Amino acid sequence: MQAPIQQAPFGTLPNGEQVSIFTLANAKRMTVRILDFGGIITEIHVPDRAGAMQDVALGFDTIDPYRADSPYFGALIGRYGNRIAGGRFTLDGQDYRLPVNNGKNHLHGGIQGFDRVLWQARIEGEELVLAYRSVDGEQGYPGTLDATVRYRLTDDNEIVVRFHAVTDRATPVNLTQHSYFNLAGGGSILDHQLTIDADAFVAIDADLIPYGQLAPVAGTPFDFRSPRAIGERIGEDDEQLRHGGGYDHCYALNKPDAKALTRAARVVEPVSGRVLELFTQEPGVQFYSGNFLDGSLQGKGQVYGYRGGFCLEPQHFPDSPNQPAFPNTILRPGEVYETESRFRFSVEN
């Protein structure tokens, strides 16, 4: 029996708007807490093999760090997850310029992406529903986009994330969920055992922009088709690892059907036995090994050190509006953007 979703105050924005935190709980004692600001998952409490509960999500206790220079901890990302080269693209013969916020590139929707806006929240049974209208021209994007995200926690210890969007003008859309995980509850993630169901990944240049082709994982440090520790080969002398400062790459998932909900990745923390599996309809997953965490951020009684968290961001490929060979990310009027991902937690004995 699912517990009803609980709502409580979390803070106030500079314009006086109130931020709420919503607590989802299931019959197995798992709890997830989510803000209406940025759709941010602030906490994920799951058991280890002995039944001890621990928070496995990186985040903060108060609203101000999320408004400041948070590295997208737990946030919803839009309009476009990942990078767009030079902050520009051409669509239907018209050139568009986007704000650059990652060197000379546009990252995760810009200076004020979907991670830094207040979503309209409502509770529908076991689902937390968040809605946001991104107006024409916001962060340089064409068209008014109406986006909805539904969060649900199941009794199978799954966090289900369902995206829906429609637009009145053609526009790039690539929405994702950007939680950082540490299945040990703290310390380094380099001993976590990772599997990614992908034969290829998106090769990038020194600015983390795709060259435009996929690279095979075979014979490289990017081969996680069978379980390997994240840290096993992260220090190898490899050009792609140098470009990313570690792993910061989009994997092209092995999918028998382009829209099938299939397993993308599995992570095991060997000491606690905690397991995270990601299932998604997306063609790719960005694996990020916490390369830019440096101990300067603190939250929930922890210091977030170098490689103290990892991300598995289900998404389309980076820079797709400028890469015609990549899967399409242009949403047009009359079309519906829909995609689902599931983060399933369990234990391994």
Q: How many CA atoms lie within 13 A of 252 on its CB side?
A: 17
Query: Quick check: is 178 catalytic?
Result: yes
Is residue 319 within 8 A of residue 85, CB to CB? The reply is: yes
DSSP states of 209-252 = -EEEEEEE-TTSTT--SS-EETTSSTTS--HHHHHHTS-EEEEE
Nearest to 101 by CA among 134, 62, 140, 66: 140
Question: Pick the catalytic residue: 178, 192, 249, 316?
Answer: 178
Residue 62's CB is within 10 A of a number of other CB atoms, namely 11
Cα first-last separation, the chain: 26
Query: Quick check: is 243 catalytic?
Result: no
CB-based contacts of 28: which residues, under 8 Å, 6+ apart? 47, 155, 157
Question: Pick the catalytic residue: 249, 282, 313, 316?
Answer: 313
Percent helix, strand and coil across the chain, each rounded to 5? 5, 45, 45
Per DSSP, helices labelled H in the chain are 63-67, 239-244
What positions carry a catalytic annotation? 178, 313
